[in-house]
Chain A
Amino acid sequence: MNETMIHCQAVSKSYKKGNTLVTPLESLDLEVPAGEFLALMGPSGSGKTTLLNLLSGIDSPSSGKLVIHGTELSGLSRRDLTAWRARNVGYIFQLYHLIPVLTAFENVELPLLLSPLSKRDRHARVVAALDLVSLTDRMHHTPSELSGGQEQRVAIARALVADPPLLVADEPTGDLDRESANRILELLQQLARRHGKTIVMVTHDARAAAAADRTLHLEKGVLLENP
């Protein structure tokens, strides 16, 4: 049986917006085994991205227990959480968020710059990551010289290059045409099945969700397996 990658127990997230207390997630329980490709669907404002931010350690829950890859995140200091994020999570954004003045190679290399790896080792890892997304021939191109699908593949290579066990993807196909979207989804499936990555993908697109092993629906901060 696969080990548990994500364990959420009664996780809530609230924040103040003006004088109003907003609670995008309320007492959420979730269990994701390692190597699973999970799709999260739900209407806008249902808390999908908030959950993704909590899972990736860029936001903290207001209450509840969140254990990822054996580490309880609420017990970590900000500094430790940053270091944990660098080792354990790769984040794929809807709009890629590549740094425009850097080449594909340099963008993918970014997560490794703070590691103790030598230049040669970094180079080897970046080339391997770009090879995995079939973009070694475009490594010296800047984002403006790439198509949307290619940019997203570079972003996936960047998320992968530090070899994190967990990938979170926020509508990774939301800005792509169908053909490019299919290619990205195949790549994510391959990463889960062949490379054992745990993937949590937020999507609005039922066809994209169909590529995942399991789909959960978020409605007003509550998870539903079969809506």
Chain B
Amino acid sequence: MNAFFNLLKLAWVQLIRHRVRSSLTILGVASGMFLFTAVETLQRSLAKATAATAADTTLVVYRENRFCPSASRLPEHFADEIRRIDGVREVIPVKILVNNCGASLDVITFRGVPEGLLKKFAPEIEIVAGSEGAWSKRDDAALLGETFAKRRGLKPGDQFDAAGVTVSVAGILRSPFPQDNNVAYVKLPFLQHASKSGLGVVTQFMVRVHAVGSLESVANAIDEQFRSTQFPTDTRPEKAFFAETAAELIELIGFTRWLGVGAVIAVTALVANALLLAVRGRVKENAVLRTLGYPGRAIACLVVGEGGMLGLAGGLFGVGLGAVFLRWQSFTMGNEGQTLAIQPDAFVVTAGISAALLLGVLASLWPAFQAMTQPIVKNLRS
């Protein structure tokens, strides 16, 4: 074990004293891992937004076949009828207004909700700045999701306008659900008025059910209730709804996986190339070490150690930078009014750094094999 650590230390010394070569390689690895982090963050954010879990109890009721917020118009009074359906715990009518219905990285979504119902519907929401009282006092008051406020640099007392609506920031909220952290909650009548959709008209209903197992039966009951009305509905679990309405976005994000694969290949090739060059440049040094009694596996350990360290250093740098950048930018992808918060988490960071280390080690296997099998006598003469 002592010998193993001494070899790693020797590999480390080789790295830090070949500064230019090491820095350039680490920079290359970091660039690849930055891209990998961005892609994995996208994939993971999407998975979180679309993968159903046992904790999901929310349904979204939309106008049948009209999945864009501007096209879905439902009577607000449907809420009372939905509330009476068996299995429904709470229902909230929501008017949605977005600044951009197409694909965008900076979507601003207003959610108009009845005053007093928000906390009842989503008790998990926490006000982290400002107050709910301040929200009640003004018609144009807005409670901003934490990520959205950070992205736009807004704080309580500020005013901003988007999609033709001007609001005053009353507070900042935090929710365990990333989508809630990317919207602005305003009062329903205010948004109905400001968006000129008219009072009594909402975009959708958010429905919370008592039991996870009743999601499907409640959804069917709701759609059945309004099937023969002028406004038939389409009710789905929130995540399934997202997956359906943001299908194009999901397709695009799915494509980015190939960029991640490309980044991984580039990192592997870069480290392998750097180490192959190092091994070729050190044929005599390795022959000297073999003469001093270093077995071939010790030489291989030196090369693999260098590869692992290059990968790890590049990974720490690239993944760290990627995570900080994505957190700082707080990107939100939007399509058809659906928003996807692109936020790196601990899993992405851990997976990225581990992947970089593993790639460094894998990339060094062939150079290590070459180094350990080089003939001593021939290389001493070279």
Contacts and interface: CB of A to CB of B under 8 A. Distances in A.
A28 to B, nearest CB: 17
Contacts of B14: 101
Interface in B13-30: 13-14, 17-18
B2 A116 contact: yes
A110 B289 contact: yes
Interface in B346-382: 376-377, 380
B288 A93 contact: yes
A97 B284 contact: yes
Interface residues of B, number: 24
B290 interface: yes
B294 A82 contact: yes
A187 B293 CA distance: 23
Interface in B278-300: 284-285, 288-296, 298
A85 B7 CA distance: 19
Task: Tell me whether chain B's interface is mostly helix, strand or loop, or mixed.
Answer: helix
Contacts of A102: 13, 17
A83 B377 contact: no
B295 A82 contact: yes
A113 B295 contact: no
B291 A58 contact: yes
Contact of B3 (A87, A99, A115): A115
Given A58-B376, A114-B293, A114-B294, A97 B6 contact: no
A53 interface: yes
Interface residues of A, number: 26
Contacts of B298: 114
A83 B2 CA distance: 17
B377 A114 contact: no
B59 to A, nearest CB: 65
Given A58-B377, A106-B13, A111 B292 contact: yes
A110 B292 contact: yes
B291 A113 contact: no
Given A86-B294, A93-B288, A101-B14, 18 more contacts: A58-B376, A58-B380, A82-B290, A87-B293, A89-B293, A91-B291, A91-B292, A93-B380, A97-B288, A99-B285, A101-B17, A102-B17, A110-B292, A114-B6, A115-B3, A116-B2, A158-B292, A162-B293
A66 to B, nearest CB: 15
A194 interface: no
B293 A82 contact: yes
A166 B291 CA distance: 13
B3 A53 contact: no
